[in-house]
Amino acid sequence: MAESDRMVQLLSADGVLQTEGPAAEYLPYIERLGDDELRQFHRDMVVVRRFDIEAANLQRQGQLGLWVPSMGQEAAQVGSARAARDHDHIFPAYREHAVALVRGVDLLGIIQLLRGTTHGGWNPAASKNFHLYTLVIASQTLHATGYAMGIALDGLHATGNPDTDEAVMVYFGDGSMSQGDLNEALVFAASYQTPQVFFLQNNHWAISVPVSVQSRIPLYRRAAGFGIPAVQVDGNDVLASFAVTARGLDEARGGEGPRFIEALTYRIGAHTSSDDPTKYRTDAELQSWVARDPITRFETWLRSRGEGDAFFSEVDEEAEDFAADIRARTYELGTPSTDKIFDHVYSEPHPVTAAQKSWLDGYEESMGSDA
Amino acid sequence: MSNREFSLPDVGEGLTEAEIVAWKVAEGETVTVNQVLVEIETAKSLVELPSPFAGVVTHLLVGEGVMVDVGTPIIRVADAAAPAGNGSPAHEVADAAEGAAPATDALAGSAVTEEPAIDSGADTIADTAASIAADDDKPGAVLVGYGLKGHVASRRNRQAAAGAPTARPARPSSVPAASASTIIAKPPIRKLAKDLGVDLSVVQATGLAGEITRDDVVREASQASLFRNIETPSWAADREERIPVKGVRKAIASTMVASAFAAPHVSLFVDVDATRTMEFVKRLKNSSDFAGIKVSPLLIMAKAMIWAVRRNPTANAQWTDDEIIVKHYVNFGIAAATPRGLIVPNIKEAQDLTLIDLARAIEQLTITARDGKTQPAAMTGGTITITNIGVFGMDTGTPILNSDEVAIVALGTIKQKPWVVDGEVRPRFVTTLGASFDHRVVDGDVASRFLADVASIIEEPALLLD
Amino acid sequence: MSELITNTDAPHHAGSRDGEAQRRRRESSATELPLARAINAGLQQAMRDNPKVLLMGEDIGPLGGVFRVTEGLQAEFGANRVLDTPLAESGIVGTAIGLAMRGYRPVCEIQFDGFIFPGFDQITSQLAKMTNRHEGQLQMPVVIRVPYGGHIGAVEHHQESPEAYFAHTPGLRLVSPSTPNDAYWMIQEAIASNDPVMFFEPKSRYWHKGPVDLSGSAAPLHASRVVRTGNEVTLVGHGAMVTVLLQAAELAASEGTSVEVIDLRSLSPIDYAPIVGSVQKTGRLVVASEAPGFVGISSEIAATVTEKAFYSLQAPVLRVTGFDTPFPPAKLETIYLPDADRVLEAVDRAMAY
């Protein structure tokens, strides 16, 4: 829906490099990429997709209460994530498993979140500032904006040194565009001219509600209403996703204010494992997007540049190993200690949690074994 | 070769059951990890279930078209990799993780108890997987399929561990030691005390936590209403009040005169450490046998006197001018002050009663007397009597013998006093037993031995275990 | 509208006249301050002590806040430390969370109690849970200041007492000063706390003066305090209610009843020790608050004290609260809000048991 004539695409669905039209000004960003970096794009996308399939299976096998598939959105996530600097801060929603992978998060953390052993899963400070998932729609956009305000207050953007200038990237979906918090975040970002990229993955569905219900116009055009420059990109094109994001981040960290990117992509899977998309969307639509698969087109393009079977087989094997490792380690996950209920409710000692934790300890001790 | 079962998981956040729509594999077929085994229909949608195991399907446990609860085993797979002699438990079938029983266990979901062969691809990886797969057992973490059904509600086995909070703490933790209020009474007891006009500060508390119980208040009230003046009325308007002598008052008077001036009364007193009796009474109160039965020191006194009668038969006798009739049965009289006056009903054949029956009899006698319904027959034929003046708040006294009897014992207050135990002064429950005897029948030695016997029981009730 | 300015000086605002500065200097050494000024002084001190302390809210810059609590602070500290925000409570709290992640200590002002609800989600779903979600690896040293309560003859939504919604949320701390001295010290302690603190300011007391000991020290932030001793009935309340309780106690004394009054100061956690100690002495407790009674903080106190001081109770714990209705139009507020007579009615009932 709402693909505009200004959509930036560098790689067609057939895997052919585009050089004319909106693509032209972004080619330099791609030309800077070396072969290893391009291979890494492919590796990232294949591994995370394989991970996604394994996790979905684990859920069906009863190992996870819920799975949130990222299938189909790999290019938007990998491309944008690879454009960010290590010192940038990234605020995801809850489907950005590929971004997590790129930022070095142990994806078992996502498994733990959905298995019910934690509400977190990783430490952002140890994961290249990839913040925890936020499950309330769009809440993270305000946190990201506040963080970016902090960067501005610290004077750590717009110094002209991209190696130290910081920026923030916040991810969200088409449903988020209707939430008050996102609109307030855009207001604050524009008002304070924060060093921030708003990255919208328009995967066309908010559970069962099509994006047409969220908006009557292409979503990227809303940003102009807030005074924020915006770009629409083919989110299934990893090269374009990378290029557009790289430019947006450069501009933001350079002091030009916030930027908005709409990546057009598609949620190949269900909203979550509890959802049944057959109830609200057609197979024809699904297939039309399968035909525009991000990994297929990129492989086509890499092959056209001379990449051979050996590379692709190696990546497949790596993906299989990755999935197997996730499966094995999932089975090893035990039950969290009941201390977790109490220990971090507050940063400072608190009489109520202390008393209740102590009570529970005594209560548990007074119980005989359940033999 | 080990069998593993896959139980129906909750695939949709709170689903309780699903229908097996179509099996995608057959018995005897080799399957790989993640291979689709079956299509199920839940309340939300049609779902395919991938295999957690690699191996050979041995049993399809549920037929197509059948609805089963989450947690029900649906398929059994024999381990294909079967690393030789790996010592894995032979039968995980009945032994899913954490002792789950199918369908009824709270831990619903697939019971994966062993590391499945990591065999997610269909091709040559099988062998690689076998070598990768750890031989050691990893107990399958059970799971998150959380069916809502299958939670058998059962009470966990609560131990009364030493130090663990018990149902009845010795002292309620909410009452700090330095409590400014020394009166511990629950609100209903306070109300009762107020209604009965009882001053809680003078009530002796006998509750486990040191609180004043309902009985304590009622006891005080009984004393208060019957035997203690609660208030000081103003002087009556009349100069004199003349009460005719008749009825009960006349009867009491003549009986008293006959007894007091016919029988030479001699009184003896002994102080007794009654602590063990008090403890015994408490334990009886707490025992299930005596639930609902009033137990008091009076009961032990009755038993003590009956025991003392066995040892001193002439204390249980009657003087006639011609002969002294020593009775080998005890009709045990209890003096009861009623609003209409003093009566002494007796419990017939008290020597034959068990402790519990005696308790019941005493209670019945008391209630009947209080209600004014004591029958004349109950008031004749007594052989020995006790009078409880402790309820009056009196320490001891010199009771007057009941007609045709030769001994009467007065039970006074039992309260904590300093007592010497093992050379040290300690607070103990102390009472003074007083007794009057007819010196025509009972000489001083018999009287002393009788009273000493009673005292020895009060001091050590275990002596009743004859 | 001020912007975040990183490379230039803070703009010089019209409000920072020399006369203004002089007046502030005079007041800072004075020992009597209205509650609003005491908070102002406390904020000023906290901002001087720690450059990471930020103020953010609507109209807090040149205007100094609708109650003037932040008056003069933007002039002293600049627009990079005193931020006029867009009109968006969720935005204020949400960006404060982001700023706290960045290492700042944001102090948010919610303009009026009734306007806190757009921010309710960010406060309860995010701020309160952030440290727990991060399993202790992230702290949220955020303060949310909320003028609350009635007695100012205001229109709808400007006289609410929403404490209970937040006290019910684990992860938050709540306090409410009743005196200028407490206000001065408690705002600084709240800012120094590494946990989210909701700071409820009794707006009907903003202009009442009281002694402030600028050179003293702070009582523990979450301690309750006996403010009048007595031995027949205990009265407990917070914020503006404390004044009402003291009035009731004075009247009771003239009638021969000895009343003890306790200022709660902290609504979550509640410091029960002085309350229980008092009830053990008096045997009777009356808890009062402006908020509607059903499921209010007074009910929590009643249940807990009954449990902790059961054997001492001569009477049930009584509650005197607002009625379970929306706050009425201003002409009816004196009927609605518990006053000394309503409190004494409960005292009489307690004494009758």
Please judge whether C4 and A149 are an interchain contact, meaning their C-beta atoms are less than 8 angstroms apart. Answer: yes
pLDDT of residue A83: 98
pLDDT(B80) > 60: yes
Query: Are B123 and B92 spatial neighbours (Cβ–Cβ below 8 Å)?
Result: no
C1, C99, C131 member nearest A346 (Cβ) = C131
Give the pLDDT mean for C131-157.
95
Distance from CA of C171 to the nearest CA of A (A): 5
Give the pLDDT mean for C121-149.
97
pLDDT of residue B81: 56
pLDDT of residue C31: 87
Handedness of CA B377, B379, B380, B381 (dihedral sign): positive
CB pairs under 8 A between A and C: 148
- Tell me if A11 is assigned to some domain: no
Ramachandran sector of residue B284 (left: φ over 0; alpha: ψ -120 to 50; beta: rest): alpha
- Active-site residue A271, yes or no? yes
Distance from CA of B80 to the nearest CA of A (A): 17
Q: Which residue of C has its CA nearest to A355?
A: C269
pLDDT of residue B248: 76
Distance from CA of B10 to the nearest CA of A (A): 7
Please judge whether A331 and B141 are an interchain contact, meaning their C-beta atoms are less than 8 angstroms apart. Answer: yes
Ramachandran sector of residue B459 (left: φ over 0; alpha: ψ -120 to 50; beta: rest): alpha
Q: Which residue of A has its CA nearest to B39?
A: A60
Question: A366 CB near a chain B CB, below 8 Å?
Answer: yes
pLDDT tier for residue B425 given thresholds of 50, 70 and 90: very high
- Tell me if A352 is assigned to some domain: yes
Query: Are C316 and C346 spatial neighbours (Cβ–Cβ below 8 Å)?
Result: no
Handedness of CA A120, A124, A126, A130 (dihedral sign): positive
Q: Which residue of B has its CA nearest to A326?
A: B118
Please judge whether C281 and B180 are an interchain contact, meaning their C-beta atoms are less than 8 angstroms apart. Answer: yes
Q: Are residues A302 and A184 in the same domain?
A: yes
C6, C90, C193 member nearest A184 (Cβ) = C90
Question: What is the distance between the alpha carbons of residues B203 and B185, in angstroms, rounded to a whole number?
Answer: 11
Please judge whether A147 and C131 are an interchain contact, meaning their C-beta atoms are less than 8 angstroms apart. Answer: no
pLDDT tier for residue B410 given thresholds of 50, 70 and 90: very high
Question: What is the distance between the alpha carbons of residues B255 and B408, in angstroms, rounded to a whole number?
Answer: 15
pLDDT(B252) > 90: no
List of chain B residues whose C-beta atoms are within 8 Å of the C-beta of residue C309: 174
Please judge whether B181 and C308 are an interchain contact, meaning their C-beta atoms are less than 8 angstroms apart. Answer: no
pLDDT(A280) > 80: yes
- Tell me if A77 is assigned to some domain: yes
Q: Are residues A258 and A355 in the same domain?
A: no
Lowest mean pLDDT, pick from A95-109, A122-136, B208-222, C93-107: B208-222
pLDDT of residue C21: 54
Maximum average pLDDT range among B98-112, B194-208, C317-331: C317-331
What are the structure tokens assigned to B26, written together?
Answer: 């057959």
Ramachandran sector of residue A331 (left: φ over 0; alpha: ψ -120 to 50; beta: rest): alpha
pLDDT of residue A189: 98
Please judge whether B172 and C312 are an interchain contact, meaning their C-beta atoms are less than 8 angstroms apart. Answer: no
Q: Which residue of C has its CA nearest to A153?
A: C6
Give the pLDDT mean for B178-197.
72
A59, A333, A366 member nearest B141 (Cβ) = A333
- Tell me if A7 is assigned to some domain: no
pLDDT tier for residue B249 given thresholds of 50, 70 and 90: confident
Q: Are residues A297 and A349 in the same domain?
A: no
Mean pLDDT in chain C?
92
Maximum average pLDDT range among A292-301, B360-369, B373-382: A292-301
Please judge whether A146 and C170 are an interchain contact, meaning their C-beta atoms are less than 8 angstroms apart. Answer: no
The ipTM of this complex is 0.92
B33, B144, B157 member nearest A63 (Cβ) = B144
Lowest mean pLDDT, pick from A80-89, A140-149, B288-297, C261-270: B288-297
Q: Are residues A238 and A365 in the same domain?
A: no
Q: Give the list of residues 6+ apart from residue C187 with CB closer than 8 angstroms, or none.
A: C39, C42, C43, C46, C143, C145, C177, C199
pLDDT of residue B155: 67
Q: Please give the residue range of the domain that contains residue A158.
A: 21-335
Mutate to test the interface with A, among C58, C101, C172, C268 (most CBs of A within 10 A): C101
pLDDT(B151) > 80: no
Question: What is the distance between the alpha carbons of residues C350 and C353, in angstroms, rounded to a whole number?
Answer: 6
What are the structure tokens assigned to B239, written together?
Answer: 């100069």
Residue C317: phi and psi, rounded to 5, are -70, 130
Query: Are B438 and B259 spatial neighbours (Cβ–Cβ below 8 Å)?
Result: no
Q: Are residues A273 and A345 in the same domain?
A: no
Antiparallel, parallel or unpaired: β B332-338 and B384-388? parallel
Distance from CA of A225 to the nearest CA of B (A): 40
pLDDT of residue B106: 32
Q: Are residues A283 and A350 in the same domain?
A: no
List of chain B residues whose C-beta atoms are within 8 Å of the C-beta of residue A323: 120
Question: What is the distance between the alpha carbons of residues B41 and C1, in angstroms, rounded to a whole number?
Answer: 58
Mutate to test the interface with C, among A153, A194, A359 (most CBs of C within 10 A): A153
Question: B180 CB near a chain C CB, below 8 Å?
Answer: yes
Please judge whether B174 and C280 are an interchain contact, meaning their C-beta atoms are less than 8 angstroms apart. Answer: no
- Tell me if A293 is assigned to some domain: yes
Question: C310 CB near a chain B CB, below 8 Å?
Answer: yes
Question: What is the distance between the alpha carbons of residues A361 and C60, in angstroms, rounded to a whole number?
Answer: 47
pLDDT of residue B368: 87
Closest CA to B54 of B89, B25, B95, B88: B25
Q: Give the list of residues 6+ apart from residue C299 with CB closer than 8 angstroms, or none.
A: C293, C319
Tell me the per-residue pLDDT of A311-323, one tens digit each, with 9 for 90 and over: 999 999 999 999 9
pLDDT(B96) > 50: no
C307, C308, C314 member nearest B190 (Cβ) = C314
Q: Tokens 């855009």 belong to which residue?
A: A186
Give the pLDDT mean for B228-241.
78
Task: Give chain C's domains with CATH numbers.
Answer: 4-212 (3.40.50.970), 225-352 (3.40.50.920)
Q: Which residue of A has its CA nearest to C223?
A: A351
Q: Are residues A327 and A348 in the same domain?
A: no
Question: What is the distance between the alpha carbons of residues C303 and C307, in angstroms, rounded to a whole number?
Answer: 6
More confident residue, A262 or B289: A262
What DSSP letter does each residue of B133-159 carry, written as one string? S-SS--PPPP-TT--STT-------B-
Question: B186 CB near a chain C CB, below 8 Å?
Answer: yes
The domain total for chain A is 2
- Tell me if A302 is assigned to some domain: yes
Name the pTM for this structure: 0.73
Distance from CA of C228 to the nearest CA of B (A): 19
Please judge whether A147 and C101 are an interchain contact, meaning their C-beta atoms are less than 8 angstroms apart. Answer: yes
pLDDT(B1) > 70: no
Strand order, beta sheet including B17-23: B46-50, B36-41, B17-23, B67-69
Chains that touch C (3 or more CB pairs under 8 A): A, B
Question: What is the distance between the alpha carbons of residues C286 and C278, in angstroms, rounded to a whole number?
Answer: 12
Closest CA to B301 of B389, B398, B419: B389
Mutate to test the interface with B, among A46, A51, A61 (most CBs of B within 10 A): A61
Q: Are residues A271 and A358 in the same domain?
A: no
CB pairs under 8 A between B and C: 28
Q: Are residues A365 and A240 in the same domain?
A: no
Q: Which residues pair with B438 in a beta bridge?
A: B265
pLDDT of residue B158: 65
Lowest mean pLDDT, pick from B74-83, B113-122, B256-265, B343-352: B113-122
Lowest mean pLDDT, pick from A30-39, A297-306, B218-227, C187-196: B218-227
Question: A364 CB near a chain B CB, below 8 Å?
Answer: no
pLDDT of residue B230: 57
- Active-site residue C158, yes or no? yes
Please judge whether C122 and A348 are an interchain contact, meaning their C-beta atoms are less than 8 angstroms apart. Answer: no
Q: Are residues A255 and A360 in the same domain?
A: no
Catalytic site residue from A60, A119, A280, A346: A280
- Tell me if A30 is assigned to some domain: yes
A124, A136, A157 member nearest C125 (Cβ) = A136
pLDDT of residue A344: 96
Please judge whether A153 and C137 are an interchain contact, meaning their C-beta atoms are less than 8 angstroms apart. Answer: no
Chains that touch B (3 or more CB pairs under 8 A): A, C
Give the pLDDT mean for C249-269.
97
Give the pLDDT mean for B143-162.
51
Please judge whether B184 and C307 are an interchain contact, meaning their C-beta atoms are less than 8 angstroms apart. Answer: no
Question: C283 CB near a chain B CB, below 8 Å?
Answer: yes
Mutate to test the interface with C, among B171, B173, B175 (most CBs of C within 10 A): B175
Catalytic site residue from C151, C158, C222, C238: C158
More confident residue, B217 or B232: B217
More confident residue, B430 or B391: B430
Please judge whether C313 and B211 are an interchain contact, meaning their C-beta atoms are less than 8 angstroms apart. Answer: no
Distance from CA of B165 to the nearest CA of C (A): 16
Closest CA to A223 of A215, A231, A212: A231
pLDDT of residue C10: 36
Antiparallel, parallel or unpaired: β B55-60 and B265-273? unpaired
List of chain A residues whose C-beta atoms are within 8 Å of the C-beta of residue C98: 142-150
List of chain A residues whose C-beta atoms are within 8 Å of the C-beta of residue C301: none
Catalytic site residue from A42, A85, A259, A267: A267
Q: Are residues A314 and A362 in the same domain?
A: no
pLDDT of residue C20: 55
pLDDT(A356) > 60: yes
Closest CA to C324 of C349, C287, C295, C297: C295
List of chain A residues whose C-beta atoms are within 8 Å of the C-beta of residue B134: 328
- Tell me if A353 is assigned to some domain: yes
Q: Are residues A201 and A327 in the same domain?
A: yes
pLDDT tier for residue C24 given thresholds of 50, 70 and 90: low
